Amino acid sequence: MKQLSSLVVISLVSTLFLFSQNTQKPVLHAKNWLAITGKPLGATAGAMMFQQGGNAVDAACAMLAATSTMWDVLSWGGETQALIYNPQTGEVIGINALGVAPTGATPKFYTEKDMEFPPEYGPLAAVTPGTPGGLLTMLAEYGSMSLKEVLAPAIQMAEGYPIEAQTANRIEGEKDRIREWPYSKQIFLVHEGDREAPLAGELFVQEDLKNTLLKLVEAESQALESGKSRKEAIYAAYDRFYRGDIAEEFVRGCQEQGGLITMEDLDKWQVYVEKPVKTTYKDFEVYKLTTWVQGPVMLQALNMLEQLDVRGMGYNTAGYIHALYQVMNLAFADRDFYYGDPYYPPDEPIEGLLSKEYAKQRLEQINWEKNDPEIKPGDPYPFQGTKKNPYLKYLEEWSNKEVSGVQTLEGEENYQEAFFAGTTSIQAADADGWVVSITPSGGWVPAAVAGRTGIGMSQRMQSFVLDPSENPFNVLEPGKRPRATLTPSMALKDGKPYVSFAVQGGDAQDQNSIQFFLNMVEFDMNVQQAVEAANILSYQMRNSFGKHEIKPGNLTLNEAIPPWVRLKLKAMGYKMNFRPRTSGPLNAIYFDREHGTMWGGSSNHGEDYGIGW
């Protein structure tokens, strides 16, 4: 009987272990290349480049072009940010292709219109388009194919592709706003009657966008015919977009509808190829883009979590959830006060923010018994050799008490949906060692289309603040980039890529990225388990969109969290809601050095999809 009991226990343990390995999607195994993004057809565009001999940068650019054409919560007028691992140098490179505030976009301009922040939609929400410049720069500097080859799938899609239900239904749901903009209305509202949006599976045709993309290819072809190199020819297409006839029509269409973007704004804007920031977490180097996005939040959080026994706490125990929530809140409070465009004064205290000693000091502020709704930004200045914080007055007055007045269930659901909203993600890697992680966004449905370009304008202006007391580093100014949420990630081990990952979802992005990384390195999940795992979500940070609301103590948990954990968290002061999926959506590539292969993880949210070979 004793032996039987032992066998039963072993059997139960084995069953639980096997069950724990189950995922809704399989791992993507590959030897030569992997292409993952937010749409199946987008992943196919990446696979087409690989099949034609392209590298991971070529494939990533093709996926970016395809998903922008498909309006996968972004369009060509949005913004692109990327991390690229260059195997020839062993370096991680940052691509900053975020648009800037146009001429005339000042705090006074918006406050005189009785706006607390720039608007969420329309031409007055638009920064200059960044995605075309980002794509062209990545392709010219690190790709191997021509622009004509890379844009071919997107051009075919613009001629007419079978639209998915997700995008078609979003258009239908936003049709009242779309009607406000004549060029958008012509493209999106193709039917008369109750349903004006395209039907799922219907061919969605974008003639103006096709012509714009063909003009870029034409500029490249003319440059090649005149003896220019591959790189120079791609930059000729760049010039046509930002300084030529495409720019002229974009500006005309923008200003016709009340927007502010000028030819000078497009001409002056530039893509920055920059050095990303990084930290170490045990044996790993983790790379993020710097303070023009929220990326350093993850690094700050990891600096704190490294000092705790994360594995010993246990996955999704009350203690682990509480520690994670508090650490993230500390990091996000710093984001909300100190992050902004590093190319504009004042200088962000990034050295102090990423200091291990600063992390230790911040960790000491945690109340381990209850949630602290009063967590504020810290003072990183002493940790970078500067004794005096120039913004102590603002810091002393800063408060978390600006809680939204939304009380209805419907209002709460709308708030959460807005919190999650945004973007797609792109992951690409090849056998030669090139790795690309991108989180493009902007110009999502409902977007105001700029004239006959077919290009939807960005809505990123809303991420600025107008009052310096809220964040002196992110105050609206012409030529300046708003602090965006978009944040690709990459981790190296022993100087080689370990995992590349990105997630869509506004202010939730780095929250999910932190947990994905911990799921792999602390809880021994494979990459697909890690992208599907039950994450938590805090709302105790200032929303980067809309009215920049904050909800201290609000916590989203997965429905699988057991009742005893819920009771403990309730006693600790948390207000909880539950969702069946809380993992992202995340996409990732893990590099199996032992076997010389790649493992792809593709989110079980929405339409994320990957193809490998």
Residue among 20, 27, 42 at smallest CA distance from 603:
27
**What would the two tokens of residue 522 be?**
């602390």
Q: What value does the mean pLDDT take over residues 291-304?
A: 98
H or E element at residue 97: strand 91-97
Q: Is 472 contained in some domain?
A: no
Percent of the chain scored above 90 by pLDDT? 87
| Count of domains forming the chain | 2
- Indicate whether 529 and 411 sit together in one domain: yes
In a domain, 5, yes or no: no
d(C-alpha 412, C-alpha 175), whole Å: 23
- pLDDT tens for residues 414-424? 556 655 556 78
The percent of residues above 70 in pLDDT, for the chain, comes to 93
> Are 252 and 307 contained in the same domain?
no
CA distances from 380 to 338, 352, 398, 414, 485 (A): 9, 5, 16, 35, 21
pLDDT at 409: 38
Helix H or strand E segment including 358:
helix 356-363
- The answer to whether the CB of 98 falls within 8 A of the CB of 127 is yes
User: Which H or E element spans position 592?
Assistant: strand 586-592
**Entry pTM:** 0.94
For residues 17 and 580, give the distance between their C-alpha atoms in angstroms, rounded to a whole number. 21
Whether residues 67 and 119 fall in one domain:
yes
Q: Is residue 87 part of a domain?
A: no
- Minimum mean pLDDT among 89-93, 105-109, 403-407: which range? 403-407
131 assigned to some structural domain: yes
How far is the CA of 547 from the CAs of 63, 402, 457, 475, 555, in angstroms?
Answer: 32, 10, 20, 15, 20
Same domain, 379 and 495: yes
In the predicted structure, residue 504 carries a pLDDT above the cut 90: no
Distance between CA atoms of 532 and 584, rounded to whole angstroms? 8
- Whether residue 468 is contained in a domain is answered as no
Residue 524 neighbours by CB under 8 Å, 6+ apart: none
What phi, psi does 28 have (nearest 5°)?
-95, 115
Same domain, 263 and 335: no
The residue written with tokens 């107008």 in the block is 466
Residue 242, both tokens: 């930002």
> Of 4-13, 146-155, 541-550, where does mean pLDDT reach its minimum?
4-13
| Helix, coil or strand: residue 382 | helix
DSSP output for 289-333? --TTSSTHHHHHHHHHHTTS-HHHH-TT-HHHHHHHHHHHHHHHH
Same domain as 339, residue 449: no
Question: Are 265 and 296 in a shared domain?
Answer: no
Same domain, 146 and 247: yes
Whose tokens are 């090849």? That residue is 430
Cβ 238 vs Cβ 190: under 8 Å? no
Kindly state whether residues 496 and 580 are assigned to the same domain. Answer: yes
**Residue 434 within any structural domain of the chain:** no
What is the model's pLDDT at position 283?
Answer: 96
**pLDDT tens-digit profile of 336-380?**
999 999 999 999 999 999 999 999 999 999 999 999 999 999 999
Name the helix (H) or strand (E) containing 57.
helix 56-69
Q: Residue 196 is which amino acid?
A: E
Tens digits of per-residue pLDDT, 176-216? 999 999 999 999 999 999 999 999 999 999 999 999 999 99
259 and 192, same domain (yes or no)? yes
- Contact between 512 and 583 (Cβ < 8 Å): yes
What is the separation, in whole angstroms, between the first and last Cα of the chain? 51
Q: Could you tell me the residue range of the domain that residue 546 belongs to?
A: 274-424+482-607
Rg (alpha carbons) of the chain, rounded to whole number = 24
What are the φ and ψ backbone dihedral angles of 104, each rounded to 5 degrees? 90, -10
Cβ–Cβ under 8 Å, residues 218 and 209 = no
In a domain, 30, yes or no: no
Residues 238 and 324 in one domain: no
User: Rounded mean pLDDT of the chain?
Assistant: 93
Note the pLDDT tens digit of each residue in 439-487: 999 999 999 999 999 999 999 999 999 999 999 999 999 999 999 999 9
